[in-house]
Amino acid sequence: MVRILPRDVLRGRPTTATKDVDEAHAKIAELFCSHELAPRTRTSAVDMKLRSLHRADVGIEFLDYGADVRIDPEGLQDFHLVQIPLAGHATMQVGSTIVESSPTMASVPPIDKPFSMSWDGGSPHLIVYVRRLALERVAGQLYGEKTVDLGYGMDLSGGAGRAFLRAVVELHDDMISRPQSTAPEFVQGLMADSMVSRLLMAMERPGDDVRDPEAESRLVRECRELLERHAFEELTVPDIAECLGVSVRTLQTALRAETGATPSELLRSIRLDRAREMLLEADPREQSVTAVAELCGFTHQGRFSALYLKTFGELPSESLRR
């Protein structure tokens, strides 16, 4: 389980703090949407702490009301939220459906239905923000359909949930280490799309409890097969995407979401596997490491040896002498 400490979320970013309910209400309404906010205790006070950072279509917030509160939003409409209690407990109700959220179960509010939430005191939240259009675009790339009926809860203890959390942490760290003005736009988009892909894969979709893993990984499988067939040829990422009939961004997003690798990294991995097979089968009296490396597309001998050692735990020359 990926552990995220409240103090680490957007560390160093300005913190908005207030004990006034009306001020807290105004700040959250400005950031998200119109809603009703009411303490559930006699003190009628909060101890809110808020940190927020957005980049293009995604954002990360840290929100702690510091008290038991009830929240009744009017509706999200044009953005999605994944709400993760970093401690404690919260409840979300959508019609007759109730989601009990905790550090191992996130709540995902609907964008087109009324809902209400109760947050216990001592339940600071990490909130992931995604624009509706961005989620629909990535859903179209993954599933071939832009309209995706999401569920209301995300299990963070399973493999898909943990992968989503890792993508959030990776995006979070990049956002706070590099201001938007200095982060390459291409890198920003790739990291955001990867996180959104993980979000979609981790969601419980009503009426679709069992997904078709073959359909989700078809593009990745076809990419791997293409690279296997043409591993020794000069291939560029645009060439690979064109052969598969998708955009470069779509290919990169799918590979990163399912394998954690870029197209170039996957091609390099396949070439390394081929090189190992050839070295283990070769006669050292008739073949050399340099010749095998060049046949497998590695033109820099020192770099090839370093990659080989890191991947297989031994030098290419040791494999050749077996």
Residues sharing a CB contact under 8 Å with residue 141, sequence separation 6 or more, in sequence order? 197, 246, 249, 250, 253, 254
- Within this chain, do residues 152 and 229 fall inside the same structural domain, yes or no? no
Domains identified in the chain, total number: 2
Domain span including residue 259: 212-322
20 and 50 in contact (C-beta within 8 Å)? no
Q: Which backbone phi and psi does 127 adopt, to 5 degrees?
A: -120, 125
Task: Give the Cα separation of 79 and 75 in Å (integer).
Answer: 10
- Within this chain, do residues 166 and 36 fall inside the same structural domain, yes or no? yes
Q: 179: domain CATH number? A: 2.60.120.10
DSSP-based three-state secondary structure for 111: coil
- Within this chain, do residues 274 and 318 fall inside the same structural domain, yes or no? yes
Task: Give the Cα separation of 170 and 2 in Å (integer).
Answer: 12
Look at the chain and count its residues: 322
Q: Which backbone phi and psi does 299 adopt, to 5 degrees?
A: -95, -15
- Within this chain, do residues 117 and 261 fall inside the same structural domain, yes or no? no
- Within this chain, do residues 273 and 139 fall inside the same structural domain, yes or no? no
How confident is the prediction for the chain on average, in pLDDT? 86
- Within this chain, do residues 46 and 165 fall inside the same structural domain, yes or no? yes
Amino acid letter, 1: M
pLDDT recorded at residue 181: 56
> In the chain, which ranges are E strands?
16-18, 35-39, 48-55, 58-64, 69-73, 79-85, 90-94, 97-101, 105-107, 116-119, 125-131, 153-155
Q: Which residue has the tokens 């964008």?
A: 111
- Within this chain, do residues 180 and 273 fall inside the same structural domain, yes or no? no
- Within this chain, do residues 131 and 194 fall inside the same structural domain, yes or no? yes
- Within this chain, do residues 158 and 43 fall inside the same structural domain, yes or no? yes
Q: 310: domain CATH number? A: 1.10.10.60
- Domain edge (last residue) among 173, 202, 231: 202
Is the predicted pLDDT of residue 216 greater than 70, yes or no?
no
- Within this chain, do residues 189 and 87 fall inside the same structural domain, yes or no? yes
Does 319 reside within a domain? yes
Is the predicted pLDDT of residue 297 greater than 90, yes or no?
no
- Within this chain, do residues 47 and 142 fall inside the same structural domain, yes or no? yes
Does 1 reside within a domain? no
Task: Give the Cα separation of 211 and 96 in Å (integer).
Answer: 25
Does 21 reside within a domain? yes
Q: What is the pLDDT of residues 147-195, one digit of tens each?
A: 777 889 999 988 888 889 999 999 999 898 876 656 667 777 888 998 9
* pTM (predicted TM-score): 0.65
Q: What is the pLDDT of residues 226-271, one digit of tens each?
A: 888 888 888 888 888 888 888 787 888 788 777 778 888 888 899 9
pLDDT recorded at residue 164: 92
Does 207 reside within a domain? no
DSSP 15-41: -EEES-HHHHHHHHHHHS--EEEEESS
86 CB neighbour count, 10 Å cutoff: 19
Task: Give the Cα separation of 262 and 269 in Å (integer).
Answer: 11
